[in-house]
Amino acid sequence: KEGKPIMLGGGRDFGSLLQSIEAEACLLIAPDGLQPHFLEIIEGRTANLGSSPAAASLAADKLLSTRALARSGVPVAEIVDRPDPVDKGCLQYVVKPRTGSGSEGVRISSFVRAGPEEIVTRYHEGLHLSASFIVGKEGFLPLTLNRQLIDFADGKMRYQGSQVPYRTPRAAEIWEAAEKAADVLALRGYAGIDYVLGERPWAVDVNARPTTSIIGIARVMKEEIGELILQAKFGGMPERVHVTGEYTFLKGELG
């Protein structure tokens, strides 16, 4: 309900808009694959409130980001590049686009078989969660842990919505893993990591941008998200936030 929207038309693209806009700071929310190019334009004109183009590019590539996290000891759903031995039984794997979001194109398979722009990871049983946080010049600020509502049907995984927040006695374990992952990938500003919480909190996806959970966070957090993002860039970010209540939303109801 605030601000002035600009609708692009007549063949004008978003990049040309960014090159002409006058602003003291800019927060980009865009599909992962488009972020690096637009972030380069932003950083050439004003203060970027999010991750750098290089960090956004790394996070968007599920193959490279998973390998980077694994090398640093962060628990991840491991990349599988060859079938397991037959004596291990019939195992399940997750096949997903190398870049993408919102569980689009993700499927469960008993075969280590992927297209040229897909990767295969090991399937882990557990609770599907996401960690939403802000990284600034003064450190790492946890916001909320969220339960992801996932529909499993026809061998596919579909994100349906979130419960914000989700309270778990293993929160400290998840936040420790999230902070280490954010440091390894050099994330900045508002970001989120998707997890499967089983024996360990396995990271399955990294978003170097505001995620859908922000809809619920804005309902339950006392602090203003926009203010926190500005403080992350320019200073004054608090040590913790205050969350009361709970909010659940469904993707199909967002309009």
Residue 32 lies in a domain: yes
pTM across the whole model: 0.91
Note the pLDDT of residue 102.
61
Residue 226 lies in a domain: yes
Note the pLDDT of residue 252.
81
Residue 138 lies in a domain: yes
The alpha helices in 44-170, defined as continuous H runs, are: 53-60, 62-71
- pLDDT digit of tens for each residue in the chain (255 aa)? 678 888 888 777 889 889 988 889 999 998 888 999 999 999 999 999 999 999 999 999 999 999 999 999 999 999 998 877 766 666 888 998 888 766 677 888 887 877 788 899 999 999 999 999 999 988 999 999 999 998 887 777 788 899 999 999 999 999 999 999 999 999 999 999 999 999 999 999 999 999 989 999 999 999 999 999 999 999 999 999 999 999 999 988 876
* Rounded CA separation 35/208 (Å): 9
Note the pLDDT of residue 87.
61
Counted domains in the chain? 1
Q: What is the dihedral of CA 64, 68, 74, 77, to 10 degrees?
A: 20
Note the pLDDT of residue 5.
85
Note the pLDDT of residue 213.
92
Task: Specify the CATH number for the domain of residue 18.
Answer: 3.30.470.20
- Bridge partners of 81? none
Rounded alpha-carbon distances, angstroms, from residue 118 to 110, 112, 208, 229, 232:
15, 11, 20, 33, 34
Residue 118 lies in a domain: yes
Note the pLDDT of residue 189.
97
Q: Identify the domain containing residue 147 by its residue range.
A: 14-253
Residue 8 lies in a domain: no
